[in-house]
Amino acid sequence: MKKHLKRLAMPRSWPISRKSHKWVTKPSPGPHPQEWAIPLSLILRDLLGHCDTAREARRIIGSRLVWVDGKPVTNPKHPVGIMDVISIPSTKEHYRFLLDPRGHFTPMMLTEKEAKWKIVRIENKTTVKGGMFQLNLHDGRNILLKKNEYKTGDSLKISLPEQKILGHYPLAKGNSAVLIAGKHTGELVHIENYTPTRNPKVNIVTFEEGFATVKDNVFVIGKKKPEIKLPTLPAI
């Protein structure tokens, strides 16, 4: 695996210039795939503007001044993905990272109270020793439960960093969701129908807005109303 990444080959989700320099920081392997993750140092320098160079970003991060999901991070290449919460305690800044309608990572400013939780999607479930059920979440987390009460594709609202379950948003009719891939990336939709199947064909979710997409593109973010604010494009 190469340790370097050219700007021309970087993911489309990174909202930074492709032609100003030849190279760009490559994110470390982590909970998010590279196409849906952006290095912490780029966020600090290019998106938030807290420094001018990569060296300054490394010093700030190495000083434990930047937190991800309620914990300090010292790796400047740490991959930050969808729904991750970035906090800078010294300046009392908090951000949630989402995709805008262009498919670009966008920091959404939060209050201190909002920064204490995040929404995660259940990717799959397994049964572990002792009869416990393990939920495997989209950001690499695992939660152990005694009861099998949540389904794959559902979303959970969890506290940070304790990851206690605060809310449950099922992949079901009437609930709000954001699309994280495809033609309608970043759009708020409302689920009209979802019927899971066990055959090899992909599961399709249809929306009240008049279109449909595959289940993997759907991230439930609330019931009738979304629990989070979504980025929008500026008016022309």
Domain boundaries, the chain: 5-110, 116-169, 175-223
| CB half-sphere exposure, 68, CA atoms < 13 A | 22
Q: Tens digits of per-residue pLDDT, 83-134?
A: 999 999 999 999 999 999 999 999 999 999 999 999 999 999 999 988 899 9
- The tokens describing 41, both together, are 């140092």
Strand order in the sheet with 117-128: 142-145, 132-137, 117-128, 155-159, 165-169
Joined together, the tokens standing for residue 37 give: 């993750």
Q: How far apart are CA 99 and CA 120, in angstroms?
A: 15
* Per-residue confidence (pLDDT) for residue 234, from 0 to 100: 63
| pLDDT exceeds 60 at position 62 | yes
Q: pLDDT band at residue 1, thresholds of 50, 70 and 90?
A: low
**Hey, what CATH topology would domain 116-169 get?**
OB fold (Dihydrolipoamide Acetyltransferase, E2P) (2.40.50)
- Topology of the domain comprising 175-223: SH3 type barrels. (2.30.30)
| Fold equal for 116-169 and 175-223 | no
Residue 22: CB atoms within 10 A of its CB come to: 9
- Report which DSSP code applies to 135: E
Q: Does pTM surpass 0.85?
A: yes
Q: What topology does CATH give the domain 5-110?
A: 3.10.290
